[in-house]
Amino acid sequence: MSAPKTLFLPLDYFSFQQLKGNFSATFRYRKMGQDQGEKMAPVLAVLLLFVLSYSKAEEKTKHIAGIVNGTVDLPPGTHIPKTYRQIKWFYNQTQQILTKKATRDVNFYRDFRKKMHLFENGTLHIMSLQKEDSSKYKIIVEDQDGSEIFTEIQLGVYDPVPKPWVDVTDFKMTEGKCVSTLNCSVDIPNVIYTWYENDKKYGNPSADGNLTLSLLSESNLIYNCNVCNSASCNNESLYYQGNCQWRDRNAASSTLRLVADSAMTVGILWLLHNLL
């Protein structure tokens, strides 16, 4: 009688079942993760588009300055297609100024018509500017496919810089040098002062209009104070004549007129003397 055959298995039955269960669990876990990833993909895509759109909008923000009682043009920031569907302008980003449909006239809202005009290229023209016109404006251009392109413009309205007042507040001779303090000022805030010596920039621009000098006996130096804000500039000058003597523009002009008048008087007297 032959001995019964023995069946040798690489794994016992219970180990195989356990391995099979682990494999199935791992497969189900990976499958579940894949399903969740597929479900999250559209959400992530929308978030990515939002971030890119926001970044793009920030990059398109323009800054424009205007003067009180002046005018300003706010450009559309993009090419307006000939086949656009409509154009919208907004004040403070949310308050609508106008709507311009391709085949219709401009429709203004509230009282914006009194001080605003829309050019054919989409530029918004604003008249009689006031401080309250300072805001962020937005234009939305919609094409025939319904796609929208928008640009934001930050408008700042400022007072025009008046003629600055310049003066020598202190001067004295010290060790053979004329130590002088010049002051330049205007009566509006948020300005930058820049001094020039004979048309060459002297020092750095600052919010302080004072300038301290230590001069030798040189003469015929002109110190010009240039004052600017974001919308305009103005300037005034002081003249150094040596030996710690200063004159402003009016005094210098008066001196020049006096010299010219004296020269003319001498000429007339000389002519009369020769005629007689």
pLDDT in the model for residue 42: 54
Nearest to residue 72, comparing CAs of 114, 106, 122, 123? 123
Q: Is residue 153 within 8 Å of residue 91, measured between CB atoms?
A: no
In whole angstroms, give the CA distance from residue 10 to residue 16. 9
The fraction of the chain above a pLDDT of 70, given in percent, is 68
Which sequence spans correspond to the domains of the chain?
Answer: 62-158, 165-248
pLDDT in the model for residue 243: 87
Strand order across the beta sheet in which 210-215 lies: 165-174, 177-185, 210-215
Nearest to residue 50, comparing CAs of 61, 42, 60? 42
Per-residue pLDDT tens over the stretch 221-258: 999 999 999 999 999 999 999 889 999 877 644 343 33
pLDDT in the model for residue 93: 82
Per-residue pLDDT tens over the stretch 67-88: 999 999 999 988 888 889 999 9
Per-residue pLDDT tens over the stretch 5-62: 433 334 444 444 554 455 454 445 445 555 555 565 555 554 444 444 443 444 468 9
In whole angstroms, give the CA distance from residue 112 to residue 96. 9
Cα–chain-centroid distance for residue 148? 25
Its pTM stands at 0.65
Per-residue pLDDT tens over the stretch 108-123: 998 999 999 999 999 9
For the chain, how many residues are written?
276
Matching fold, domains 62-158 and 165-248: yes
Q: What architecture (CATH level 2) is domain 62-158? A: Sandwich (2.60)
Query: In DSSP terms, which residues pair with 240 in a beta bridge?
Result: 221, 246
pLDDT in the model for residue 103: 86
Q: Does CATH number 2.40.10.340 belong to domain 165-248?
A: no
